[in-house]
Amino acid sequence: MIRILILILTGMFVPVHVFADPFSSPLSSVPGLKLSTLTDRDLIYPGDPFKLYLSVQIEEGWHIYSLEPLDGNDMLATKINIEDHVFGNMGKWVESSTELIEDGAQAKMVKGHIVNAEFYKSYFIPEGINPGNYSIKGKLIYRACNNKLCTVPQSLPFINWVQVGEIK
């Protein structure tokens, strides 16, 4: 009983980081990415097409991979997953120009983005949809490298609101 009391009191006064694994990687090794979304129009009417844009700012010294990597690098590909929504799909994601990068962490040439990346996809508003605000939710799934190490796949969620107008 006394041993349990000593353990409880010790836990209250000794900082948790004393027991932390000294070999674990620090959180600062995960790169900073900032994701912004927008559509090409503020108000969209039934039957009209629109584009959803994703803009990614990448922390200096890091890069992310292309949606369409070089042969043999499929596990590195960036992916964009969209949840269910009411809009019609008009094709696949398009990405901004990529660069060939000599990736020290992978020990090979890769296709990717440095500093920023832009992605867009076209959708349309179905006929008969009620006016109002509708969301498009999704996740950018990526791996980032800094030529010394690569992250495990990371997921960056996003949401964008689309205002559907009423046809008069």
Lowest mean pLDDT among 11-15, 17-21, 48-52: 17-21
User: pLDDT at residue 6 above 60?
Assistant: no
- Average pLDDT of the residues of the chain: 84
| Position 2 confidence tier, pLDDT thresholds 50, 70, 90 | low
Residue 101 DSSP code: E
| Position 46 confidence tier, pLDDT thresholds 50, 70, 90 | very high
Q: What residues pair up with 54 in beta bridges, in sequence order? A: 37, 119
pLDDT given at position 69: 86
Using left for φ > 0, alpha for ψ between -120 and 50, and beta otherwise, residue 42 falls in alpha
Q: Domain 31-164 is classified in which CATH homologous superfamily? A: Thiol:disulfide interchange protein DsbD, N-terminal domain (2.60.40.1250)
pLDDT given at position 12: 46
User: pLDDT at residue 26 above 60?
Assistant: no
Average pLDDT, stretch 64-87?
89
pLDDT given at position 65: 93
User: pLDDT at residue 53 above 70?
Assistant: yes
Write down the domain spans for the chain: 31-164
Task: Give me 132's structure tokens.
Answer: 């109002």
Of 75, 54, 57, whose CA–CA distance to 151 is shortest? 75
**Do 105 and 132 meet the contact criterion of CB atoms below 8 Å apart?**
no
